[in-house]
Structure 1
Amino acid sequence: MAKNSAKDIEVTAFATHQIITQPNPLRRVLRRVEEKDLDDPVSRAEQALAGLAGEFKDWMTTEVNRLSAAYVAIRHDGFTKDRRDELFRAAHDIKGDAATFGYPAAAGVAESLCRVIEHAPDLERVPAELFTHHINAILAIVHENTKLDSISVSAELSRRLRKVADDYLADVNRDRPEHLEVILAPSIVPAE
């Protein structure tokens, strides 16, 4: 990069101070683009996302199958650290991906399932129906989300499962106040 010469530096003197202004070397490398040639990266990203939209259902089905397989392994062979972690990761991935893929109610149910896995003191003692209802709800939401009336049913199912899970967790953690504060906190999954 070329050094500025003393003649390129502008000094403005005031009674109490001086302002020294150096030339902007980026002006030499800046390229002006006409308005008609402007690139819109947001528009390009939206077009790319629209092109992928047809694959969202397949991706979500893959995630749901992974969740289901993790729970089948647990039902068959019991909880181990690896099986627990796989169930949690599958639910957590659904929680993160569901809204993007067009299944916001599934995100709420998956978050509720994550909370049960994370905050239950003993997963072996969690009623199997609590896991089963969460997983079946996610399956139903993903497979039936195309019908308009099913969207409101999905949202209500998500709210009810969250309430049941929170009530269960509040009860089993009544002697663990450090968990109660987290359990009773509002959902971080965006509302529909």
Structure 2
Amino acid sequence: MAKNSAKDIEVKAFATHHVITQPNPLRKVLRRVKTPDMDDPVARAEQALAALSGEFKDWMAIEVDRLSAAWTAAQNEGFNDKRREELFHAAHDIKGDAATFGYPSAASIAESLCRVIEHAPNLAKVPAELFTHHVNAIVAIVHENTRLDSTSVSVELSRRLRKVADDYLADVNRDRPEHLEAILAPSIVPAE
């Protein structure tokens, strides 16, 4: 590389300091190409997502069926480590996928269900209605998401279920301060 000459270096003097700016030698080797055919990976990703969007409802239906089956198994046979993991993973997958697939309220409710499973000291002592309401709400949101008035109802349902779950968890974990901090933390699921 050629050395810069003194005339290429710019010096700005201030009362307390000097700023020395050297020319950028890469400008001489950089070639800008203007072409309408430039690859736009974001646009390609959006097109791919749009092409798949017709399948989102089917994918969510599969996830909801998995959640329902896990809850039914836990109800009929009781909780053990395997059934707890199945229920947690089904809810966790919905929490992660629902917002992307167009069901953000289902994601919030699934997060609340995950919190109950994760922080309840004894799942067998959790009122069955708490699980049932979460699972039924997710099923209803996924199956009834086409109605225009369903969004406000599902947001309110999500908010109330989260409040009930948090109140329950705060009560049963009052002697477990390491869990209270996580229970009282705000939701990590994006708001609608």
Shorter-chain TM-score tier? 0.7 to 0.9
Number of residue pairs matched by the alignment: 179
The alignment's C-alpha RMSD in Å is: 2.3
Which residue of structure 2 lines up, in the alignment, with residue 140 of structure 1? 140
Deviations 1:70-117 (A, max 9, x none): 111111111111110111011001001000000000001000000000
> Structure 1 residues 34-43 or 113-122, which shifts more?
34-43
Which residue of structure 1 lines up, in the alignment, with residue 102 of structure 2? 102
After TM superposition, the structure 1 = structure 2 runs for residues 36-185 of structure 1, keeping only pairs within 5 Å, are: 36-185=36-185
Which residue of structure 2 lines up, in the alignment, with residue 10 of structure 1? 3
Q: Match for 1:64: what amino acid?
A: V
1:35 CA drift (Å): 2.6
Q: For 2:37 and 2:133, how far apart are their aligned partners in 1?
A: 54
Q: Which segments of 5 or more consecutive residues in structure 1 lack a partner in the other structure? A: 1-7, 15-20
Q: For 2:175 and 2:132, how far apart are their aligned partners in 1?
A: 26
Q: TM-score, normalised by structure 2?
A: 0.85
Q: Match for 1:87: what amino acid?
A: L
Identity %: 76
Which residue of structure 1 lines up, in the alignment, with residue 191 of structure 2? 191
Q: Which segments of 5 or more consecutive residues in structure 2 lack a partner in the other structure? A: 10-22
1:33 CA drift (Å): 3.7
1:41 CA drift (Å): 1.2
Which residue of structure 1 lines up, in the alignment, with residue 35 of structure 2? 35
